[in-house]
Amino acid sequence: MYADRIKNLPPYLFAAIDKAKQEARARGVDVIDLSVGDPDLPTPEHIVKALNKAAGDPSNHQYPSYEGKLAFRTAVADWYKETFDVDLDPKKEVLTLIGSKEGIAHAPLAFINPGDAALVPDPAYPVYRTATVFAGGEPVIMPLLRENKFLPDLEAISPADARRAKIMFLNYPNNPIGASADRSFFKKVIDFAKDYNIIVMHDNPYSETYYDGERSLSILEMEGARDVAVEFHSLSKTYNMTGWRIGSVVGNSDVVAGIGKIKSNIDSGTFGAVQDAGIVALESPRAVVDEIRTIYQHRIEILYKALKDLGLQLEKPRATLYLWAFVGGSSIEYAGRLLEKTGIVATPGVGFGQYGEGYVRFSITQATPRIEEAVVRLEKMGKDPIK
């Protein structure tokens, strides 16, 4: 009945987690869900008010353009200039997306023919691999290892694989690991991509969720990046707008146009009222994002200390909403026993790829009192290993 591309897919990670949560709640367990990166904080009120006003505008009641309102694309370009000092042409180098996932999932269709390869990090957001497979391409894995600071080792990629590769997916600050990349790494990536004529697709939704004043980078800040790279961004994490489904892809105009061509043939544009509210979000005072970041940093500190005290191996992340803890052994078994003994739901690392085995991802997207309650439960469990 199903096409091979569906039959060969593994169960989507978060669907399996949802089932485990539902079963635990049915047993009466007070579940603390630290498994998904869906911010618990509400969208700032001034953005919600902007949506309410824009929804009443009859011009937003018709089909939206595929590429997005020029006003929204201009707001994205202005935000990139203010945030990263990157100049973008909103007409050619910015495309509005129904959340960045939509653009990431469709991008390989524009550039990969059956038999082509895509360089895909592991562990990683599952959509990079799935989108490659849907386009008929072969994912070539780039392991993200602790000894390499969770950066792909470009020298380990065989010349044969590099020549077959049409695109490379990157994601820094990284989900699920929380690792960050520096300028020297991005420079190496750009040189590598130029050598092998590869399009770099950098997924950067966590750029503003950084800590200790160490701001995150856009790959487009690097000299020569515009020749080979595009960057996906989203309002989801920056402004707590995950349910609104609005984002963008920016950078190389030819690549942006290719993604736009797929988009116009597959889906529609983003609801105009959401774009209007997105403009208000992007024009928000920096204090709005600073306040959100301060709350997340406090939660990171609390949970990081608890996990360290439990004896787990992990580094405090410089960015993102996640703590990536080495537990050894089966990550699925560990997460299952953690739920059974504490009511805490965490994400098994193997769900992000084979090199995620032995790790568990903890998210901080629960109210601070719930994070504190999770810490109490972890302390009661003690340092005894979960077996």
In this predicted model, what pLDDT tens digit does every residue of 333-373 receive, in sequence order?
A: 999 899 999 999 999 999 999 999 999 999 999 999 999 99
Q: Nearest 10 degrees: CA dihedral of 55, 56, 59, 64?
A: 20
**Residues counted in the chain:** 387
Fold for domain 45-285? Aspartate Aminotransferase; domain 2 (3.40.640)
Rounded to 5 degrees, φ, ψ at 319 are -165, 175
pLDDT tens digits, one per residue of 309-324: 999 999 999 999 999 9
CA distance 7 to 121: 23
| Token digits of residue 166 | 């049409």
- Measure the CA–CA gap between 43 and 247, rounded to whole angstroms: 15
How many Å apart are CA 80 and CA 82, to the nearest integer?
Answer: 5
pLDDT confidence bin for 384, thresholds 50/70/90 = low
Domain ranges of the chain: 4-42+287-381, 45-285
Q: What percent of the chain has pLDDT over 90?
A: 90
Which CATH number describes the domain made up of 4-42+287-381? 3.90.1150.10
Return phi, psi of residue 33, to 5°. Answer: -90, 105
Question: Model pTM?
Answer: 0.95
In this structure, what DSSP letter does residue 313 have? B
Question: CA-to-CA distance for 111 and 164, rounded, in angstroms?
Answer: 12
What is the identity of the amino acid at 209?
A: T
- Are 104 and 201 contacting, i.e. CB atoms less than 8 angstroms apart? yes
Q: Look over the chain and give the mean of its residue pLDDT values, rounded to a whole number.
A: 95
- Tell me the pLDDT tens digit for each residue of 89-130: 999 999 999 999 999 999 999 999 999 999 999 999 999 999
Residue 385 pLDDT > 60: no
